[in-house]
Each structure stands twice: as C-alpha cells, then as structure tokens.
Amino acid sequence: MRTELLFSRIACAAALLVGSAAWAQNYPAKPVHFIVPFAAGGPADIYARFLADRLEKSIGGTFIVEDRPGGGAIIGTEVVVKSDPDGYTLLLMSNTHTVNESLFTKKPYKLMQDLAPISPINYSDLLLVVNPSVPAKNLKELIALAKAKPGALNYASSGPGTPYHMAGELFKAMAGVDIVHVPHKGSDQARTSVMAGQVQMMFDAVTTMAQVARSGRVRPIATSGKTRSAIMPDVPTVSEAGVPGYEAVIWLGMMAPAKTPQPIVQRLNTEVQKIINSADVKAAWEKQGATPMKMTPAEFSKFLQQDIEKWAKVVKISGAKVD
C-alpha cells in the first residue's frame, strides 16, 4: 500500500512538473503587468519600458508598465506581493528594496520571503553633483565646506532608502560631514531641485545625470564606483578624490510574487538575460554608463541576501531609520 502511495505521489509530482513546463512554454497567454514602484522618468521606469518592449518581441504577448511610486517603493511592491503568483505581475526593483529591509521598522512584506528573485538587469555608478552656486570645485573643497558649515548643505534624493539617499548617508559617515537629507517624490524632482539651486547637491545615476552635468546646469564632483566611469572619465571617483574605500552604485532587478511557478521564473530569467547580454544592448548601455548583470535566479537570490546584509551595516552606522 505504501509503495502504491509513493508511486502515486511521484506520478502526481511528475504530472505537475510537466504541466508547469508546458504552461511556461505557452506564457504569456494574457497581458503581463510590470510594476515599477518609482516615479516616471527615472532609471527604473526607463529600463522597465525597454525590457517590456524587448520581451514582447522575444516571447510575444503584452507587457504593461505601471508606475506605482510612493512610500519608499513599498506601495508598488505591496501590489506585487498581493498579486496572484502566476507570472502575470512582475516587479522592477532596485537596491532600494534591499536597503528597506533594515531601514523601515514596519513593512507589509519581507523581500526574500514574499517575493521570488528572477533576474538582475544592470548596474551603474552614481554621480555626485552640486549646483554651480556652491563654492566647491572638487571633493576636498566640498568636504571642507561641509565641515566648516555643519548642517548648512542639503542633499536631494528620490526618497528614503533609495540608492541616492544611501549614497549620501554612506558619504556622510565615511567623510565625517553633517549634510541634511531632503527627500523628493522621484529622481526627476530631486534633479530639478539641484539644478534650480533649491538643494545644493545629490548623488544621481550617471545614466541620467551625465548629460545634465555636461550642459553646465550642475557641476560634477565625483563618481561612486570602484573605477572611473567610462562616460565621465575626467571625473575622479569619490574614493580617489578624498574618501578612500567609498563605493555605491544603483542596480535594477526583477522579482515576482513568491510561489510563482519555477518554470515561469526560469523562462523569464532566460529571456531577460538573453536580451541584456546581446551585443547591441551591451553596446548601447555602455554608452549610457550601465552594465548588464549576468545571474541565474539562484545567483540573484544570493546577491540580494548579501546586499541586504551590506546595507544593514550602513543603516546602522548612519543611524537612518524610517517608521
């Protein structure tokens, strides 16, 4: 009897596996909603729309991008968490999400428990810029100015927990300066505030800020990566310019509700990786300052856990908290 039951269970499991695989091959059979929990016009929104277009061409179907900003990316993320785990609601996420695991004391979900990692997308350096009215031409002068006038300099971000915010907090801690965080509802608003001189400085994605810096509307001070940015080669890194060991980037990725069938997760990973690692995309992104990230779902899961741990240390050092 036990042997018959065992064989019956094995047969059922095999049937489910075959069924799931067949389902993945027919995916998508209806529109897929790609939720971006950030404001329109920022890197997340731009790359989500790029991927939606390419996925429609590679696997068919319709991919609809929906911007659901607010709450430090929590509002849009909760929409995905509460969706059916069928592969038809996806999340465009960033290191904002790994920061939020330690930054927010109360949150309606746990990232690694309620969402399934699918694939990373890309990463890019941040560019530290100041309004031209700021009397600092380089990083050492900016640090000296901040130390001479504690609390007088403000830095903009697109909201609590975003890479722009945490880059500023890391800079504060490592440079030993007192600068004040001014959160905005999106990176476009933060960028506009700095250009208008309402806020003195910010860390912004080099993919969107480089052109603004070249136009003279802001002054580039330093980039945030380990090495100089290929699209801003004349601008030193924060590390080489005065804060040794400093590094902060912005990266993007894709997740789905937990319990989304593994064949769907794997198919999406395969298609996304094929798109972002194609020669034309790599070449185009290189000109923008973005680098594709190559990982399996399992590798991405490990990466996320390590990033959660990394930023938990920064949050603890900075003392930043959001209730």
Question: What is the per-residue pLDDT across 92-125, written as a single tens digit (0 to 9) for each?
Answer: 999 999 999 999 988 999 999 999 999 999 999 9
| pLDDT tier for residue 318 given thresholds of 50, 70 and 90 | confident
213-216 CB contacts, 8 Å cutoff, 24+ apart: 213/127, 213/129, 216/132
Where residue 1 falls among pLDDT bands split at 50, 70, 90?
very low
Q: What is the mean pLDDT of the chain?
A: 92
Q: What pLDDT, in 10s, does the model give residues 216-236? A: 999 999 999 999 999 999 999
pLDDT above 80 (res 11): no
> For 155-177, what is each residue's pLDDT tens digit?
999 988 999 999 999 999 999 99
Q: b vs e for 9-31, b when ≥16 Cβ sit within 10 Å of the residue's Cβ?
A: eeeeeeeeeeeeeebbeebbeee
CATH of domain 31-124+250-318: 3.40.190.150
For residues 68 and 285, is the Cβ–Cβ distance under 8 A? no
Q: Is there a shared CATH topology between the 31-124+250-318 domain and the 126-241 domain?
A: yes
Domain ranges of the chain: 31-124+250-318, 126-241
What's the pTM?
A: 0.87
> What is the pLDDT at residue 141?
98
DSSP 257-290: ETT--HHHHHHHHHHHHHHHTSHHHHHHHHHHTE
- Would you tell me which CATH number, out of the four given (3.40.190.10, 3.40.50.720, 3.40.50.2300, 3.40.50.620), belongs to the domain 126-241? 3.40.190.10
**b/e sequence 158-189, b meaning 16+ C-beta within 10 Å:** bbbbbbbbbbbbbbbbbbebebebbbbebbbb
